[in-house]
Amino acid sequence: MQATYLEAIRQGIREEMERDSNVFLLGEDIGIYGGAFKVTEGLLERFGDKRVVDTPISESAIVGAAIGASYMGLRPVAEMQFSDFITCGFDQIVNFAAKCRYRWNAPAPLVVRAPSGGGIHGGPYHSQNPEAWFVHTPGLKVVEPSSAYDAKGLIKSAIRDNDPVIFFEHKALYRRVKEDIPEAEYTVPIGKAKVCREGRHLSVITYGAMVHVAMEAAEELDREGLSLEVLDLRTLLPLDEEAVLASVKKTSKAIVLHEATLTGGIGGEISARISEKAFEYLDGPVLRIAAPDTPVPYSPPLEEAFLPNKAKLIEKARWLAAY
């Protein structure tokens, strides 16, 4: 059946709530209003206000309550209305949820949903991609799907996981991406990347909304005889290093593409691993394409200039192919 990225996430959450009575939702405006982006629309009517909990505007309280509930055997799914606001619960995520397994072998099966990314003219407080903060934190799992199929399968896997999962959802994909997804039960494993397009000359390693940018660039460059392989990481922590290295060894050239700002982004980590573990296979430098080191602009023309796009990827790919 056809479903948008948004509908696929809702389906996955609903199925897990039906499967396991310990799963419940909490967040700002997720009940009566159905969520800022309508991801949780209809779930209050289906499951009641004990399992779909409208909270005060306090991300610290939302995250703290979710962690406490997870310690008691429940499986909370907490929504940050925008991923930018996750900073208000940052201490509890990185210093409590992420460390309880290490400190006393206690599971903390919670999911923090974080709508992220630009392209919606939301400005500097509603458009960030803060995944690198959490990829740097042992004990967390960090997921960012690019397709409706993966969004549903990964949210189900995240809810079932016994460790805390930060689940990034790119806002620009909510209604833009639509595809057939199975009516039968399925999950997508956390920690496994996917080759979206086979290629011979150059690997583009990416995730989230940038997968679609890479696919568009690959299609255009294919007409020039330049074959791009597109690897969708899907999970950022744990990183599927095996898949990254396999792709680079195959093509001998690599571009790491992400929407987050350049300095300290996950692209640096991936580039370093390629350089350390596949150097002898490389026929050119590992390139990064990312946003510049500024806050996300509000002005639509400035935001367009700020974000990585197809033209920027094509330019870099042509340069690297000719290296």
Average pLDDT score over residue span 282-307: 97
Average pLDDT score over residue span 48-52: 97
Contact (CB, 8 A) for 315 and 282:
no
Domain with CATH 3.40.50.970 in the chain: 2-180
Contacts of 141 (CB under 8 A, 6+ apart): 158, 161, 163, 164, 165, 166, 190, 191, 235, 237, 238
Predicted local distance difference test score (pLDDT) of residue 60: 96
Tell me if residue 10 falls in helix, strand or coil. helix
Q: Percent of the chain beyond pLDDT 90?
A: 99
Contact (CB, 8 A) for 236 and 207:
yes
pTM of the model: 0.97
Predicted local distance difference test score (pLDDT) of residue 199: 97
Predicted local distance difference test score (pLDDT) of residue 202: 97
List the one residue out of 198, 216, 226, 177 whose CA is nearest residue 310. 216
Look up residue 126 and give its two tokens: 């509603």
Q: 54-108 pLDDT, tens per residue?
A: 999 999 999 999 999 999 999 999 999 999 999 999 999 999 999 999 999 999 9
Average pLDDT score over residue span 225-238: 98
Average pLDDT score over residue span 258-266: 98
Average pLDDT score over residue span 14-38: 97
User: Which stretch of DSSP H or E encloses residue 262?
Assistant: none
Kindly list the distances between the CA atom of residue 184 and the CA atoms of 139, 187, 254, in Å, as whole numbers in the listed order: 32, 10, 37
CATH code, residues 194-321: 3.40.50.920
Q: 246-257 pLDDT, tens per residue?
A: 999 999 999 999
Whether 201 is a known active-site residue: answer: no
Tell me if residue 170 falls in helix, strand or coil. strand
Question: Could you give the CA distance from residue 217 to residue 41 in angstroms, rounded to a whole number?
Answer: 35
2-180 belongs to CATH 3.30.390.30: no
Tell me if residue 213 falls in helix, strand or coil. helix
Residue type, position 9, single letter:
I
Q: What does pLDDT average to over the chain? A: 97
Q: Is pLDDT above 90 for 192?
A: yes
Look up residue 290 and give its two tokens: 């990312």
Tell me if residue 199 falls in helix, strand or coil. coil
Q: Is pLDDT above 90 for 1?
A: no
DSSP states of 12-56 as a string? HHHHHHHH-TTEEEEETT-SSS--TTSTTTTHHHHH-TTTEEE--
Q: 263-294 pLDDT, tens per residue?
A: 999 999 999 999 999 999 999 999 999 999 99
User: Which stretch of DSSP H or E encloses residue 271?
Assistant: helix 266-277
Q: Percent of the chain beyond pLDDT 70?
A: 100
Domain with CATH 3.40.50.920 in the chain: 194-321
Catalytic residue among 121, 126, 212, 258: 126
Q: 162-188 pLDDT, tens per residue?
A: 999 999 999 999 999 999 999 999 999
Question: Could you give the CA distance from residue 97 to residue 302 in angstroms, rounded to a whole number?
Answer: 37
Kindly list the distances between the CA atom of residue 302 and the CA atoms of 40, 74, 176, in Å, as whole numbers in the listed order: 32, 44, 22
Contact (CB, 8 A) for 78 and 24:
no
